[in-house]
């Protein structure tokens, strides 16, 4: 019965859809944008499927785009993970005074948007002695004259660089993945902004650019990495990468250098001489929401009392 109907109409469902798809595709292709850069970015391959020559070409195109946009030369690096390195982070909660120097050190290093404001690190404040594992109800807008305050302690939270990252599994386009040195990275050219990863992250560590990231050219840090702190686009998700542009060149992340009390520790988990291994061996460390089996590489500990 149905088939008869189709024959009579002369246009079956399949043909109609084909035509509609072609028409839509035609509408979606902006033929007025004829510049090479646009078409090259349109057909850019997945980062992990490109060979070195292709990556080099993409990087030089992106550098040119940044220069046009910010009127400033930006170097976009592509340092690979070093063999025998698995990055780990330690944070001494008995020392952290909640001053947020790490937050703004991170913003300056990683070219986050200033307005609307994007912070990769959130410093939470807890009252001593009360139930404190309730992360969702922790205070992050505290603003006293001086820190630390007597009755509180502070806990900075950022991407935990999980060994088993839920965000990576949630991503429908494979725009985010875990590199061999344990850093979970995002390819901003493949991110479609669906924010499934944000919903999947139990630590609230990912941030979304609702508008064009707003950062004046003079505040752009020109030393960037393709998977790290290069200027982002509107509609992409971004996150902490342990300062991939610094750590893969042997330097400490910016938050480590910004911390005035030295509460932040960083190193190679595979190196028994590193300070992070010392902390794991000699202190009682814990990780956030360990019961979720995400296996974070971010270790909190209390070195001493006051």
Partner 1 sequence: MNRYIVSAAGTVFFLFFFFHLHQAEALEQEVHKKFLVPPPPFSQGIFPCSQCHQGMPANKAPRKLEMMHQDIALHHMPGGWCFDCHNPDNRDTLRLANGKIVKFSESYNLCGQCHGTILREWKAGLHGKRTGMWNGEKQYLLCVHCHWPHDPEFKPITPLPPPVKPSDIK
Closer Cβ to partner 1, 171 or 243, answer by number? 243
Pick the closer one to partner 1 by CB: 23 or 116.
Answer: 116
155 binds partner 1 (CB under 8 A): no
Going edge to edge, which strands form the sheet with 285-286?
264-268, 87-92, 298-301, 285-286
Asked if 302 interacts with partner 1 (CB under 8 A), we say no
**What is the rounded CA–CA span in Å between residue 279 and residue 282?**
5
Stretch that binds partner 1, among 14-22, 59-67, 274-282, 284-292 (CB under 8 A): 274-282
Total of chain residues touching partner 1, rule CB under 8 A: 44
Q: How far is the CB of 61 from partner 1 (least distance, A)?
A: 32
Buried b (16+ CB within 10 A) or exposed e, 79-93: eebeeebbbbbbbbb
Token pair listed for 131: 């139930």
Minimal distance in Å, beta carbon 101 to partner 1?
Answer: 6
- Residues 75-114, one symbol each (x = binds partner 1 by CB under 8 A, - = not), give ----------x------x----xxxxx-xx----------
How would you class 21 by CB atoms within 10 Å of its CB: exposed for 0-12, middle for 13-18, buried for 19 or more? exposed
Q: Answer yes or no whether residue 190 interacts with partner 1 by CB under 8 A.
A: no
Three-state DSSP at 89 gives strand
Structure-token pair, residue 301: 């500990």
HEC secondary structure over 198-236? HHHCCCCCCEECCCCCCCCHHHCCCEEECCCCCCCCCCC
Residue 255 in contact with partner 1, rule: CB under 8 A? no
Nearest-angstrom CA–CA distance, 304 and 306? 6
Q: What's 139's DSSP letter? A: B
Give me the least distance between CB of 141 and partner 1, in Å please: 4
- The one among 77, 148, 202, 222 contacting partner 1 by CB under 8 A: 148
Q: Which is nearer to partner 1, 190 or 252 (CB)?
A: 252
122 makes contact with partner 1 (CB under 8 A):
yes
Site pattern 211..250 for partner 1 (x: CB under 8 A) = ------------------------------------x--x
Half-sphere exposure of 54 (CA within 13 A, CB side): 11
* Contact footprint for partner 1 (CB under 8 A): 85, 92, 97-101, 103-104, 116-117, 119, 122, 140-148, 247, 250-252, 256-257, 259-262, 265-268, 271, 274-275, 278-279, 282-283, 303
């Amino acid at each position: 019965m149905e088939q008869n109907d189709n024959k009579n109409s002369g246009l079956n469902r399949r043909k109609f859809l084909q035509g509609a798809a072609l028409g839509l595709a035609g509408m979606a292709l902006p033929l007025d944008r004829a510049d090479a850069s646009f078409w090259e970015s349109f057909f850019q391959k997945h980062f992990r499927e490109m060979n070195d020559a292709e990556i080099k070409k993409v990087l030089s195109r992106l550098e040119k785009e940044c220069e046009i946009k910010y009127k400033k030369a930006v170097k976009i690096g592509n340092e690979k993970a070093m063999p025998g390195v698995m990055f780990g982070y330690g944070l001494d909660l008995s020392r952290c005074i909640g001053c947020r120097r790490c937050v703004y050190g991170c913003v300056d290093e990683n070219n986050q948007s200033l307005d609307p404001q994007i912070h990769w690190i959130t410093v939470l404040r807890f009252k001593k002695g009360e139930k404190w594992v309730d992360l969702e109800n922790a205070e992050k807008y505290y603003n006293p004259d001086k820190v630390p305050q007597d009755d509180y302690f502070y806990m900075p939270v950022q991407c935990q660089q999980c060994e088993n990252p839920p965000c990576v599994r949630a991503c429908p386009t494979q725009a985010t993945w875990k590199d061999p040195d344990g850093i979970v990275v995002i390819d901003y050219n493949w991110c479609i902004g669906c924010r499934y990863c944000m919903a999947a992250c139990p630590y609230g560590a990912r941030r979304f650019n609702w508008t064009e990231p707003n950062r004046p050219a003079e505040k752009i840090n020109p030393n960037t990495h393709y998977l790290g702190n290069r200027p982002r686009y509107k509609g992409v998700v971004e996150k902490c990468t342990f300062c991939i542009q610094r750590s893969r060149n042997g330097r400490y992340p910016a938050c480590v250098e910004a911390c005035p009390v030295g509460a932040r520790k960083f190193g190679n988990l595979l190196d028994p001489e590193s300070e992070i291994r010392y902390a794991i061996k000699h202190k009682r460390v814990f990780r956030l929401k360990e019961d979720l089996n995400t296996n974070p590489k971010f270790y909190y500990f209390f070195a001493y009392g006051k």
